[in-house]
Amino acid sequence: MAEHQEGASSEGKPAAAMYPRKILEYMEGFLISKTVFSSCELGVFDVLLASERPLSAEEISQAIGASLDGTERLLAACAGLQLLNTHPDNGQVCYSNTEQASVYLTRSSPVSLYQSIQYSSRTIYLCWHYLTDAVREGKNQYEKAFGVSSNDLFQALYRSDEEMVKFMQLMNSIWNICGKDVVTAFDLSPFKIICDLGGCSGALAKQCTSAYPECTVTIFDLPKVVCTSREHFVTEANQRITFHEGDFFKDPLPEADLYILARILHDWTDERCIALLTRVYNECKPGGAVLLVEALLHEDGSGPVTVQLYSLNMLVQTEGRERTAAQYAALLTAAGFIGTQHRLTGKIYDAVLGHKET
């Protein structure tokens, strides 16, 4: 059998004669993102959830305070993306939410992605405008995107109280969806005293106390993050969750049986990761452990594509990168931890567990 000529498809057609469907989809992918972002920002899905019946484009446009023409186009696109259902009614089309839109795109849902979408739209999307520069320069692009120095990563991330709350809401929405899976990937019940380093909004701490009724969790984070978390996210009813203010690179860490670092190490270089893990190792009780929660690359770096894209996002926004399970194991070993294991959850984030000798 004759081999395919270079530049020919599997059907034998020259590459130039093929329709570049996949490339066109990639080129226009940002149109989909912005359609979802704008629909959430305008409150389209909230209006439809509250109505409890299909609404016309005119009714929706009035409810969201937008032009009828623009609303009709936006609704048609959302229907095409299978985010809205259509209902023909006396010559006009009415719309209702799909089940996923009601669950994940409305503000009132307990597992809403609304805040995550807003952060993607108003922060990440703007940073990605400078992806080309980030690749050329090998550093994050906060200074160009927002006019703030990127020398101190968290000064840039938390450049205003509003931006800090947005970031914390992002973390809250992520752990409401993925948190249970990562804290139950391993049996953590032997660890009664847990410290969540960079615990932010406390959403993962809540997942821990729910899954393990005998544990207590201390959230260790910067003073202004702790203050905001107490004000907006963790109530006095969460009696098994406490706070400790500090910088985990500089200040003493609370002693614990288990330390959780969730979406922390991917922000930093290998050198800074090892420095932080060494500090954790020194404070960890004998027989204790550290749980890393990260999006894991395949060992050959070939995927998943979502994690490959996240690694580009780390370039645009941070000092770090996404890594393989073996690379995280090497960081843990360098800090003194042993017996490293990892578990895939089937969702965005996975779990890596390292132990301290008894």
| Residues known to be catalytic | 266
Backbone φ and ψ for 257, nearest 5 degrees, come out as: -80, -35
CB 151 within 8 A of CB 139: no
Do the strands 284-294 and 256-262 form a parallel or antiparallel pair, or are they unpaired?
Answer: parallel
CB atoms within 10 A of CB 334: 16
Closest CA to 243 of 219, 209, 216: 219
Q: In the chain, which ranges are continuous DSSP H helix?
A: 21-27, 29-42, 44-51, 57-64, 68-80, 99-104, 114-119, 125-128, 131-137, 142-146, 153-157, 161-183, 203-211, 223-232, 270-283, 305-317, 325-335
Look up residue 281 and give its two tokens: 């190792």
Task: Examine residue 304 and say whether the peptide bond preceding it is cis (omega within 30 degrees of 0).
Answer: yes
| Bridge partners of residue 221, in order along the sequence | 245
Look up residue 64 and give its two tokens: 């969201």
Q: How far apart are CA 60 and CA 54, in angstroms?
A: 10
- Give residue 348's identity as a one-letter amino acid code: I
| Helix or strand (DSSP H, E) at 257 | strand 256-262
